[in-house]
Structure 1
Amino acid sequence: MSETICIIDGHPHRDKNHLCHALAEAYKAGAKAAGHKVKTLCLSEMDINFLRDPADFEKPASADILKAQKAVSAASHVVVIYPLWMGAMPALVKAFFEQLARGGFALKESEHGWPLKMLKGKSARVIVTMGMPAAAYKIFFGAHGVKSLENGILGMAGFKPVRETLIGGVGELSDKRAGALFGRCRALGAKAS
């Protein structure tokens, strides 16, 4: 069955030689080869400001964010790819999700004060690259930075299931391992998983 996928390439730097950009392209290639529709949002190319006033959540979003809301709304599956910076997502990725939530797009307050999940029915995959071994990040650091995205942002907005792929040791990536990672991302793309 064909899916509509939105890939959020969250590497903040535009240089296409970064691993996250290549992983996004591999996922996209696998998805397209399997007949899925794919839209990629490259955050490094978007105009994303930081919200400073909680009232801004209710104000209209920028043109780039409106396009992103349209792409996420149309998708049945969303993939978020970013490098681990200081134990969590880069500030640009967090700023993007804050902007994306504007205007009640991701959450709306119910009459009881508990947020309504506006993006129910969508699944997500979070792919995170890091210099340390992925097992060390999970065991010694509890992977709290990734969990904040998975539970506090995606889960609260209604995404289910939210799966993760943690890729450690990327500082010394051999060509063989890089090829295996790209193959893994192509396979995930083909399955829209």
Structure 2
Amino acid sequence: MSKRILVILGHPARDSFCAALADSYVEGAKAAGNELESIALGNLSFDPVLHNGYATIQDLEPDLVAAQAAIARAQHIVFIYPIWWGAMPALLKGFIDRVFLPGFAFKYRDDSIFWDRLLAGRSAQLLVTMDTPPWYFRWLYRMPGHNQMKRTILEFSGIKPVSISSFGPIRGSSEQQRNKWLARVHAYGRQA
């Protein structure tokens, strides 16, 4: 059974290894008969700064309106991005700040600390590159960027299950190793 999949490239550069991973995933998912949409954040035009927090919601630029519509259509969302300074790039964080808004991603209940998860019914996969060895990121740093995306953003909004695959260290990796990673991501797309 085919799925409606949205691939979000969170690396600002279109010529990055993350972009190659996104292309590989899309090829695999299309080969399996899935319906795909892609968003490359580096190609969008929007202000990534949430100037007033959630006190006053900024008008969404057309690219962000289209992104919300794509997220609403998706059954499965794939985020592909690098870990920089322990977390996602600022562009991806700004995208999330601007798009995963109250009333779209979640809604606090009146006079309560509890909330409704408005994006429930979707799953996600995080394909994350890093220059730190993944075992080191896991055991010594305790995966701050992974926990942020999985628990405090996606699951908070109702998106689950969320699977995470880490690729690294990218710096100094051989072409053979990168080809193995690309093949692995292609297989993920075929299995989506």
Distance 1:142 1:28, change over 3 A: same
Structure 1 runs not aligned, ≥5 long: none
Higher helix share: 1
Maintained 8 Å contact 1:61/1:102: no
Maintained 8 Å contact 1:57/1:103: no
Tell me how far 1:145 sits from its aligned partner: 1.6
**CA separation in 2, counterparts of 1:160 and 1:67?**
22
Tell me how far 1:166 sits from its aligned partner: 0.7
**CA separation in 1, counterparts of 2:63 and 2:162?**
25
Equivalent in the alignment of 2:106: 107
Structure 1 residues 112-158: Cα deviation after superposition (integer angstroms, max 9, x where no partner): 34221000000000111011110000010000121111100001000
**CA separation in 1, counterparts of 2:130 and 2:104?**
30
Equivalent in the alignment of 1:134: 134
Q: 101-110 or 26-35: which moved more?
A: 101-110
Tell me how far 1:55 sits from its aligned partner: 3.7
Identity value in percent: 34
Maintained 8 Å contact 2:50/2:58: no
Q: 164-173 or 53-62: which moved more?
A: 53-62
List aligned pairs for 1:64-103, cutoff 5 A: 64-102=63-101
Q: What is the root-mean-square deviation of aligned Cα atoms in Å?
A: 1.3
1:62 aligns with 2:61: yes
Q: 1:38 aligns with which of 16, 36, 39?
A: 36
Equivalent in the alignment of 1:10: 10
Structure 2 runs not aligned, ≥5 long: none
**CA separation in 2, counterparts of 1:93 and 1:55?**
18
Tell me how far 1:60 sits from its aligned partner: 3.4
Which stretches of structure 1, 4 residues or more, deviate above 6 A after TM superposition?
A: none
List aligned pairs for 1:180-191, cutoff 5 A: 180-191=180-191
**CA separation in 2, counterparts of 1:57 and 1:32?**
40
Question: TM-score if structure 1 supplies the norm length?
Answer: 0.94
Maintained 8 Å contact 2:124/2:159: yes
Tell me how far 1:107 sits from its aligned partner: 1.0
